[in-house]
Chain A
Amino acid sequence: MIRAENVSKAYGDTLVVDGVSLELPAGGITSIIGPNGAGKSTFLSMVSRLLKMSAGSVTVDGMDVTKTPSDELARRLSILRQDNHIAARLTVRDLVAFGRFPHSKGRNTKADKKIIDQSIDYLNLSDLSNRFLDELSGGQRQRAFVAMVLCQDTDYVLLDEPLNNLDMKHAMSMMKILRRAADELGKTVVLVLHDINFASWYSDYIVAMRDGRICHKGRVKEIMNQSVLAEIYDMDITVHEIGGRRVSLFYE
């Protein structure tokens, strides 16, 4: 379980994240949604110790993220931020293989190599595994990054806008892969998503943020209704039920 208590981030006088307390249960997919500037990415960065908190604390399975040795944490929790840019010329396989670094410290065993192959397979990158990252399309690169994070084989997988750069087909298959990772591999997946329909269709829980605070949280059905969405986004969003699942329309 990930437990955040009173987490805040201030830049000067501006509070970007304002005293967020949250428990993310182990297992399943949790999506964090909300308008731009709600503090979603900042919150995720603090949970994953990439960004210092101004106040508050975060524990992962009881371990304080600011005090636990970073390499120990790296075997429990992985994080992929948005807009990744790697200048170094690495092949897809090299990149994915570095996901094993927290476990093997660079000396990959046969078992490590197997996990590397599986991760590459999982993201359908086998044909591209020897290509350099700078020779790939944005979407392919995004899949390579996710393969690396899965290769890290942590209980908790945190992804900031993993659907960035992906077209509809690849966005869908990415969500399916994450769903499989949650269901088959028992991972706890935490996402920041902009597309609330993807969040609705594939997540178990939704956390909605606004102005640096959590304004709603709960199972998908509790969040995906007209009045709650109106409060989060300040606009009219109609919700339709299709085959027992909820889809929203907000194009007019």
Chain B
Amino acid sequence: MTKLAAAILAVLALAGISLFIGVSDVSLPALLSTAPGDRPMQVLLISRIPRTLALILAGMAMAITGTIMQMLARNQFVEPSTAGTVESASMGILVVTIFAPGMPLIGKMLVASAFALAGTAIFMRILRQIPLRSVLMVPLVGIMLGGIIASVTSFFAYRYDLLQTLGAWTLGDFSGVLRGRYELLWLAAGLTGIAFFVADRFTVAGMGEDFTTNLGLNYRRVMALGLSIVAMVTAVVVVTVGAIPFLGLIVPNLVSMAMGDNVRRSLPWIAVTGAAFVLTCDIVGRLVRFPYEIPIGTVFGVVGSGIFLYLLLGRRTRLG
């Protein structure tokens, strides 16, 4: 508990740093020496605080989503970006953008959720049909499925001249986050809050269908609940800030290595670590080429693939 409290403090410290980085002068002296209506306070309220909150909420939500997927698919290398979920959500938004461009954000999000749910269901169905003996085959199948969905999406995005917009959904970027454009992420936080209440169910589902039935739970219902949370959270994140690939894979795996997969115990840590990771990567992205920015998706791509490789190779040595 004290360790967790320390970790939460660290996240708050990172959030504090995140608030005071940027081109505009938003420092404590500047805030104190100007009126609340002046520029520093306005920048803080309209841009910096929303951005920092968005980072924390998205980081926690994506990390938890990854955990849920890994338990449901019973594979440690599965997450929304390796299961076709992100690609399906993007396709959903594209469909809305083409056919109902005026639809409010929440509507876009719901359509994207429906697409994400359908895409993930296809993935789970494939997993059930083909007995995949190798652990690595599962994410490969997911990535292939995602590739197919993404190629269809790209084709229509190209035809309708929406390729740039599409890029914004698939590559996470927090530089555009302003007050009024991130609040949907609270919904993602609420959805992952449900995960805390039913954490045990996800652990049980992670033991497989027979164990789940033996313990008196309805496997399909747990599956449906988990996949719905995953689909909606992914849709929210894609709609608001864009997907952060591999976040949902790396954070749960690191936490799992340290403390195992009893979801009730590990979930708070996964949430905190997810937030810390995203905050750190965003801060790095903002500092590397100051005053310009590198999108977090890029920073995380570099850091994340490095850690991913480490996880893969570490696994091999443990088996050998």
Contact = CB atoms under 8 A, between A and B. Distances in A.
Interface string B192-227: 000000011001101111110111111000000000
Contacts of B214: 48, 50, 74, 78-80, 149, 152
Contacts of B264: 106
A88 B216 contact: no
A203 B216 CA distance: 28
B256 A89 contact: yes
Contacts of A105: 200
Nearest to B74: A87
The size bracket of the interface on B is 20 to 34
B71 interface: yes
Nearest to B207: A86
A65 to B, nearest CB: 11
A202 interface: no
Contact of A87 (B206, B210, B216, B217): B206
Given A88-B261, A94-B262, A106-B200, A70 B74 contact: no
B88 interface: no
B206 A88 contact: yes
Contacts of B76: 87
A216 B75 CA distance: 43
Interface in B164-182: none
A149 B199 CA distance: 21
Nearest to A71: B216
Nearest to B71: A88
A118 to B, nearest CB: 19
B260 interface: yes
Interface string A119-136: 000000000000010000
B268 to A, nearest CB: 16
B124 to A, nearest CB: 15
Contacts of A81: 210
B261 A89 contact: yes
Given A89-B256, A90-B262, A101 B216 contact: yes
A79 B260 contact: no
B260 A102 contact: no
Interface string B227-240: 00000000000000
A80 B209 CA distance: 12
Contacts of A80: 214
A176 B260 CA distance: 32
A98 B256 contact: no
Contacts of B210: 50, 79, 81, 84
Contacts of A75: 216
Contacts of A85: 208
A105 B216 CA distance: 10
Given A49-B213, A74-B214, A89 B204 contact: no
Contacts of A79: 210, 214
A87 B206 CA distance: 7
Contacts of B261: 88-90
Interface string B49-80: 00000000000000000000001001110000
B216 A102 contact: yes
Contacts of A101: 200, 204, 215-217
Contacts of B200: 98, 101, 105-106
Interface string B249-264: 0000000100011101
A91 B71 CA distance: 16
A98 B217 CA distance: 12
A33 interface: no
Give the residue among B75, B76, B209, B213 with the most A Cβ atoms within 10 A.
B213
Nearest to A133: B260
A88 B217 contact: no
B260 A91 contact: yes
A72 interface: yes
A73 interface: yes
Interface of A: 48-50, 69-75, 78-81, 84-91, 94-95, 98-99, 101-102, 105-106, 132, 149, 152
18 contacts: A69-B216, A71-B216, A78-B214, A79-B214, A84-B210, A86-B211, A87-B74, A87-B76, A88-B71, A88-B206, A89-B261, A98-B204, A98-B207, A99-B215, A101-B204, A101-B217, A106-B200, A106-B264
